[in-house]
Structure formats: C-alpha cells, structure tokens
Amino acid sequence: MISREPTLERLATARQLLLEPFGLDETHLARALAEIRAHQVHDADLYFQYTRSEGWSLEEGIVKTGSFSIDQGVGVRAVSGEKTAFAYSDDISLASLLDAAHTVRSISAATQQRRVKVAPRKVAPSRTLYPGIDPIATLDSTAKVALLEKVEQRARAKDPRVAQVMAGLASEYDVVLVARADGTLAADVRPLVRLSVTVIAQQGGRREMGSAGGGGRFGLAYFDDAQIAQYVDEAVNAALVNLESRPAPAGEMTVVLGPGWPGVLLHEAVGHGLEGDFNRKGSSAFSGRIGQRVAAKGVTVLDDGTIADRRGSLNVDDEGCPSQRNVLIEDGILKGYIQDAMNARLMGVVPTGNGRRESYAHIPMPRMTNTYMLGGDKDPAEIVASMKRGLYATNFGGGQVDITSGKFVFSASEAYWVENGKILYPVKGATIVGSGPESLKKVSMIGNDMRLDSGVGTCGKEGQSVPVGVGQPTLRIDGLTVGGTA
C-alpha cells in the first residue's frame, strides 16, 4: 500500500537529523529551488543524506578491524533537456545550498532568468517495506564480536579440513530527504545489514575457498543461530566441494543454472540492457524493441523494489518516487524499461521508481532494485536429468556485460559436470560466455523453485555502487559457450 502517513513520520526523522541541527527548514529548501528555477530548467532537486555505518571483521580467531563512520551532506541538481548540472557539499547550511543553487542553474542561459512562484508543498506517497530502525543499535559491541566468534567456531567444528575462517558484519543507518522543484517532499529511513562468511579448506596441499552470507533491511537479530548455521554450512560445503573439483571442459554446451544468486547472470546479461538511459540513447541491444519477442516463451522478468525487507527494496527511490513492481519481459515479450525521472520525461513515459544514487555526492540514474525471473512448472531434478552433456552451475562469482552488444562473461564459483542426466563431479575454472538477448531465447526449461538471493548483491554502474537483489528458478539454457581449463 502506498500512503502519505509513513512519509510524514520519516520526514520528521529527516528534519531532526538533516535540517534542524543546521538551522534549516522547508522554506529554505523552497528558496534554494526557486533560485534554480529562476532560470529555465526542466527539473531540479535537493538530496540530503545522513549515513552512519559500522563494520567488524574477524580473521584467525581475532576481531582484527572495527570501523565506524558518519557522513552527511547535500546534492543539488538542475536538469535542462538532456543536460544535468550537479553540485554537492558535506557542509549543510543555507549559504552552501544557495551557492550550489546558483552554480547548477547556469545549465540554462541567464537570458531566460525569470520570477517564479514557489511550488506548493506536496508530501510524496511512499511504501512501508522495512522498519525505520538504526540497526547498529540493535546489538551491543560485545554481542557483535560474540556473533563473529560463533561463526568461526561453527565453521571449524564442521570439518577438520577447514584451515581458515573470515567473517564480516556490516550495519548501516541511512536517512534521506528529497525536495523537488515541483514542491514534492519525500524521505526514507533505510536500515541495511549484512553478514559474510569465507572459509578456506585444505587437503593434501590443495586449498579451496567457499563463501556465503546474507542480510537485508532489518536489525541484527536476524542473524540467529539457525541463520548463522545456514551460512556456515553453505560456505564450508562450497569449499569442500571445490577441493574435489576437476578442470572444467570447454565448448558450446547445455548449461543449467541453479536458483537464487545465479540470477546475477540475468541481472548483468539482461537487466542493465533494460535501463532507460541506455535505451533512450539507442546503445542497448534492447533499444526500440518494446512489444517484440526478446526471450523464449515462459520467460517473465521483473524489477521489483517493493518486496519487504529486501536488500534492493526502497520505500521511495532517490528522486522521491515510490518504488514499483515493474514487468520488464512478459512471456518472452519486452514490455518496458526501468526509468528515472529524466529519462522517463525524455522518452515520454512515467518514472518507474528506479532513480538511484550511491550518495548525496552522485547524480541519480536508472538502476535495478530486485531483478528476477518468475518460476515455471518443471521440477529442478527433471531439468538436471534432461541434460545429455553439460554444466550445472549453482553459484557464481563476478561477471560483466557490454551493454551495446549484450555480451557477458561470468565465472562459476560452484559448478558440476553432468552426463546423461547424472551429476558426475564438481568442476573448477568454468566461465560462461554469451549474449544476454540470445541466451534468453535459448531458455528451454524453467523450474518451479524461484528463489531470491540471500541478500548480498551490490551493483556497479558508472562508478556508483548500490545494494540490489537478484533471483531466478533453476533454468536450462541450450547452447551457451563455456570456457574451461580442461
């Protein structure tokens, strides 16, 4: 449900942290925006942010590092046509606001200077997807250290081959306030936590690594004994599987992707190509193809920022628009792109709640939230059994994509060689190479086990990183190229 009531509560928090300590109120924000609008601009906004973050890391049984930081500031933006002028400052004051406003309004010719009426205030509607808590305060320092020590003890007790354990705990409390030229005011209070576990297992001179972890927009109590045990089991099992791995065969073959985190391939291969800026400029492999078949029947891809507590979810985006559930591809047909305000205006469509920025020191752009493929009707075991010869990849490391061509490269961190429907042995060193648009057309079986990742994803674009989610069911893709070492 979208309503204005939760925004009012978050606005009170944002005022308390971002305006009142600096002698500012909403009349000052309106004055700065009026300064920008004295020149002919299409849009303008002020983005205030307060971020408190903390991190702890354990290695060799010792908590080696602990960090704590506070950052705050304001970004001031004016948009004229396709041009953006932007200034930011970590000094929140009326003087710096007005100085930035004067700077960015120069994007339009001074000859267009005019008197403007201050826009009436409108409180933006928003969602309530997560609690407005400070997760750093949900456990004391002693309990955080004990949590990391418990991770290590469980991992070492799991198998004598575990030689090294590294664990990290991160918490962030983020408060944002957006004031737009049309009078819109929006605010969000965003908690974010993450626990990560990396295990190195050793056997006969061979060392292999396994990782796991998760998190989301909630407090640290989420990491209870059961959750810790799950992450430890996954990390240790991955390391032990890799100890038994053989070099991966290479060539064109059938590839089956496991559910959950392997959706990162979908994120890279397809998701970035569906962002509005690339499509407006005609530089994406999906440009101008709305209404056309771009994937096999049964393939439905969504970007959904409205899933409760998820790492990629937002009550409002960084331009004050409520997050949405956007159907990008439906049954193989391209339905739409993800948009921020500027690209939506230039393409003659409405924003989709995907205007995101790393911080007040960055401009917003169209970015994914939680991007995933819906499940189908096939049993995952049936999909693996259908393989004559190929790769079954259940976990991935990093990857990258060329937006213009749609070509991607991915490294599998956990994968198995399959022949005649039987999993024979784990393989190491497999890279999957392909074209995003082409690989979607080669999807031949879709599992009924759609799963979102555990809450670990961070997406990079043009030097900006934002938290995201991915997901998919088990998928069979025919005729992908696998680079191997065998």
Question: Given this model, what pLDDT does residue 305 score?
Answer: 98
Q: Per CATH, which fold does 4-244 belong to?
A: PmbA/TldD fold (3.30.2290)
pLDDT of residue 393: 96
pLDDT of the residue at 325: 98
Instruction: Please provide residue 199's backbone torsions phi and psi, each rounded to the nearest 5 degrees.
Output: -120, 135
- Give the integer Cα–Cα distance in Å for 253 and 54: 45
Rounded CA separation 421/295 (Å): 25
Give dist(CA 324, CA 343) in Å, integer: 17
**How high is the pLDDT of residue 8?**
87
pLDDT tens-digit series, residues 11-64 = 999 999 999 999 999 999 999 999 999 888 999 999 999 999 999 999 988 988
Contacts of 142 (CB under 8 A, 6+ apart): none
pLDDT reported for residue 144:
96
Q: Alpha-carbon distance 482 to 251, whole Å?
A: 5
Annotate 6-61 with three-state secondary structure: HHHHHHHHHHHHHHHHHCCCHHHHHHHHHHHHCCCCCEEEEEEEEEEEEEEEEECC
Burial class from Cβ neighbours inside 10 Å (0-12, 13-18, 19+) for residue 388 reads: exposed
pLDDT reported for residue 486: 64
Residue 192 and residue 135: Cα distance in Å, rounded?
7
- Whole-Å CA distances, 164 to 66, 171, 199, 290: 20, 24, 6, 50
Tens digit of pLDDT for each residue in 240-263? 999 999 999 999 999 999 999 999
> Cα separation of 293 and 333, whole Å?
4
pLDDT for residue 254 = 97
Q: Using N-to-C axis directions, what is the helix angle for 94-104 and 26-37, rounded to 10°?
A: 20
Q: Where in the chain is the domain with CATH 3.30.2290.10?
A: 4-244
The Cα 65–Cα 57 span in angstroms is 5
**CA pair distance 381, 387, nearest whole angstrom:** 10
Q: Which residues contact 16 (CB under 8 A, 6 or more apart)?
A: none
Phi/psi at 324 (nearest 5 deg)?
-140, 165
Sign for the CA dihedral angle at 226, 231, 235, 238 comes to: positive
Tell me what pLDDT residue 293 has: 96
The length of the chain, given as a count of residues: 486
Low-confidence ranges of the chain (pLDDT < 50): 111-113
Rounded to whole angstroms, the Cα distance separating 75 from 92 reads: 10
> In this structure, are residues 101 and 36 in contact, taking their beta carbons and an 8 Å threshold?
yes
The rounded distance, in Å, linking the Cα atoms of 28 and 112 is 23
- Structure confidence at residue 111 (pLDDT): 46
pTM of the model: 0.94
Query: Would you say 364 and 292 are in contact if contact means Cβ atoms under 8 Å apart?
Result: no
